[in-house]
Amino acid sequence: VARIAHFGSRAIRRSSFGEFFSSPPSFHRLVCKMGYAGYAPGNKVAEALTPLQQALRSLPLEKAQEILELLEKVTRNVVRNPGEEKFRSLKLTNPKIAASVADAPSMVDALKDMGWVQEGEMLVLPPSVRLAHEVHVVGLIDAKDWWKKEAENEKRRQTRAGKMDDEQKEIIQKMELDRKEKEAEGPVLHGSVAKKLGDGPNIMRAGDVGIGKSSGGG
């Protein structure tokens, strides 16, 4: 495959891909700036969501921030006090936790994805599991930012929908008003009226062509 790299006014032709590796460093830098396989520099392929991210993004919109605050508090306690047993167990019967789980069952999935294990009515974090601030706490902060944007997008969608509803109502009201006005006017009747022809110069009578006249002198 022929490859051409332009350096100012000069052009260097590479007749084979193997010569790329023996080309000057400046050529390498140029190719890197141009991108690889046709992709422009800076364009990133969307990465697949982790199970934890999927669980955090499946929370109900109206409860997402509240539940994420609770998860962040629990996670920070473990990160700051990794050896404290009281921070490594959660009672699902706790009123606050029970209410959150009832609103969003995926909260339990998120905790399990972080390493928590369910034992009856308890969630326990095994001693072998270590939660890291840069992974778990930061992941929860990222989820809060994501849900904040989702809330803003939903607000914009509702605003647009409200405007459309108002416009539709206005059109329907106008159509109904036009219909009532036409009903009030009643039907329009056009009767046939006989028109009298005048005696203008263009009117020809039978007598003008000799019809009905006697051929004698009388």
28/14 Cα distance (integer angstroms)? 13
**pTM, entire model:** 0.54
The 3-class SS string of 154-202 reads: HHHHHHHHHHHHHHHHHHHHHHHHHHHHHHHHCCCCCCCCCCCCCCCCC
pLDDT in tens, the chain (218 residues): 444 444 444 444 444 444 444 445 554 454 444 444 444 555 555 579 999 999 999 999 999 999 999 999 999 999 999 999 999 999 999 999 999 999 999 999 999 999 999 999 999 999 999 999 999 999 999 999 999 999 999 999 988 888 777 677 778 878 888 888 877 776 655 555 555 555 555 555 656 656 555 555 54
171/165 Cα distance (integer angstroms)? 10
30 contact partners, CB below 8 Å, separation of at least 6: 5, 7
